[in-house]
Amino acid sequence: MKSERGLSLILIILLIAAAVVGGYLVNSGKVSINKNTQNSTIQTQTNSPPSTNKIVNWKTYTNTKYGYFISYPDDKGLILKEDKTAIKKLNNLTQLETSSIFYPNSDQIISFVVWSNPQKLSVQDWWDTNFDNLYAGFNPALNKKQIKTSFKRVGQTQTFFADIGGPRSGPYYIAQNDVIIEINSTVSELFNKILSTFKFE
């Protein structure tokens, strides 16, 4: 009998202890933490930045022939122009096509020039080989040693960058299959943002 009473007493003490601990956990902020978590989740969704949506709602120019695309705002008065018949021959160098995104009556522009690269040279070897042809019309006095070159990212793409100075960023050169894509852009916050969307499919 004594052992049964002792066992009952222990059980009662354990139940009281469990109730006390349970009450403490409930009142210690566990419930309020869950509420805070829910509130913060709702607030995050409500206050999410609108900039992502602006990028998503931009127009996208896709060059299906050479497999690249770039996005640009459709509410800024920007114009897209393509010239797929812009074939020029500069000695052994062939320009295949051009396209550009620009403001009318302004010098703000992003331009793309597609050059032939039938030998599939690396972009730096191609630039070294064709330097004189590339810059003869632009600045015949330009010396290769005057130009700082480096590799830079444009969007998600690694490019060969030739810094020729002036108000424009570039040219950037990208080797893709048997062509070289040249990109030039006006230096500005908007055009830098547009340039950051450049990708290959």
154 and 87, same domain (yes or no): yes
Q: What is the pLDDT of residue 79?
A: 86
Which residue is associated with the tokens 């640009």? 72
**Residue 98's pLDDT band (cuts 50, 70, 90):** very high
Indicate the residue among 13, 28, 48 that finishes a domain: 48
23 and 72, same domain (yes or no): no
- Asked if the model's pLDDT at residue 40 lies above 60, the reply is no
Q: What is the pLDDT of residue 122?
A: 93
Domain ranges, residue 39: 1-48
Q: Rounded mean pLDDT of the chain?
A: 75
111 and 43, same domain (yes or no): no
162 and 188, same domain (yes or no): yes
157 and 70, same domain (yes or no): yes
40 and 93, same domain (yes or no): no
67 and 161, same domain (yes or no): yes
- Asked if the model's pLDDT at residue 11 lies above 80, the reply is no
Q: What is the pLDDT of residue 195?
A: 86
16 and 103, same domain (yes or no): no
CA–CA dist 141, 153 (Å, integer): 29
Helices (H), 64-137: 123-135
Mean pLDDT confidence for 181-194: 86
- DSSP code, position 166: S
CA distances from 142 to 99, 134, 163 (A): 25, 11, 12
Mean pLDDT confidence for 32-48: 37
17 and 114, same domain (yes or no): no
- Asked if the model's pLDDT at residue 48 lies above 50, the reply is no
Structural domain total, the chain:
2
Q: What is the pLDDT of residue 88?
A: 82
Q: What is the pLDDT of residue 45?
A: 36
CATH number, residue 178: 3.40.1000
- Which tokens belong to 99? 């396209």
57 and 31, same domain (yes or no): no
112 and 137, same domain (yes or no): yes
**Residue 104's pLDDT band (cuts 50, 70, 90):** confident
Q: 75-79, 138-142, 180-184: lowest mean pLDDT where?
A: 138-142
78 and 136, same domain (yes or no): yes
Mean pLDDT confidence for 177-182: 93
Burial pattern 114-144, b for ≥16 Cβ within 10 A else e, equals: bbbbeeebebeebbeebeeebbeeeeeebee
